[in-house]
Amino acid sequence: MEVLDLRPRGYCHGVAKALHIVKKVIEDDTYPRPIHILGLIVHNKKITEAFRHYGVVSLDDPTKTRLELLDFIESGTVIMTAHGVSDLVIDKATQKGLTVVNATCKDVTKVHDAIKKHLVLGYEVAYIGHKNHPEPEGILGIDPNITFLCTKMDAMNFKLHDPNKKLFVTNQTTLSRYDINIVLDVLKIKYPDLLFDDDICDATTLRQKAVIEQQPVDLCIVVGDTLSSNSNKLAFVSKHERNINSYRIEGLEDINPAWFKDVKRISVTSGASTPTKLTNEIIDYLKSFDYNDESTWQVKSKLTHLDILS
């Protein structure tokens, strides 16, 4: 079975920066203990578990906001995740006397800054994103008048609060072009003079481009966490834009050898929060896989916590 290693894949600069920051805090005894992460530093459970092994507590509850999660931290250091938070969260953490470490991705910060700028200029702001994702939560905390749009129906129902104002539209950095256009196309019909700032990050764009432009294959494997928006979008793009049978998996344990019956060529990519060694382990497994030899079917990972974080 031929295995194509799609590039680019794996960590984007924002994830690499966030992980470096957490490692630095762990190694530096001058940061007060305990160490908490407000949410998941990146959307990968294996990374969260690896940091837990080193004493870092990740507070994650989908029913609570970042502001509410702060109520569970009384002392020590709190790290803000790569997905960004509003100024309200930073202010509350500071008022509680916590040492605040901000690991927000610079691409997310760019969106925050653009929205603040256009609010000052008198625009109404609409933001395209996914429900139950921390990046929109941080954005919506900037101003209560920002309108959150998730679906085509949301766009159809949208009306300016003040018809005399201009409309500024931007988006969650990890969306696919399809996700944005299905909403944006409706808005452009209703408000042809709207100002749109395309904020899909380069890492997301380039990984999706590699999937769209890949050579013909029988199957595509995307390595990424269930919660990873960009990983799920890679599988979606492969399946719906290239019509390739595609699976998103978190690790070797998710592989079903039956998938590979009669498969001659397979491609592998990974999301922006997927450890490189994890993807490499899967590629090595696939290269040695023989459907007619069940001794090659074993799918137990040999990676340690140190491997995941290296």
* Whole-number Å distance between alpha carbons of 180 and 178: 5
Cα separation, 114 vs 101, in Å, equals 22
Distance CA 305, CA 159 (A): 49
Which residues have C-beta within 8 Å of that of residue 124, sequence separation ≥ 6?
Answer: 145, 147, 160, 161, 162, 165, 166, 167, 168
Cis (ω within 30 of 0) for the bond into 8? Answer: yes
DSSP string, 239-260: HHHS---EEEESSGGG--GGGG
Out of 27, 74, 124, 135, the active site residue is 135
Q: Residue 168 to residues 18, 123, 192: CA-CA distances in angstroms?
A: 29, 6, 11
* 35: β partners: 77
153: Cβ–Cβ under 8 A, 6 or more apart, which residues? none
The residue with tokens 């294996």 is 46
User: CB under 8 Å to 257, separation ≥6 — which residues?
Assistant: 289, 291, 297, 299
For residue 171, what are its two tokens? Answer: 């988006």
Phi, psi of 101 (to 5 degrees): -120, 125
Clarify whether 253 is annotated catalytic. Answer: no
- C-beta separation of 150 from 157 below 8 A: no
Q: Which residue has the tokens 């990424």?
A: 224
- For the annotated catalytic residues, the residue numbers are 135
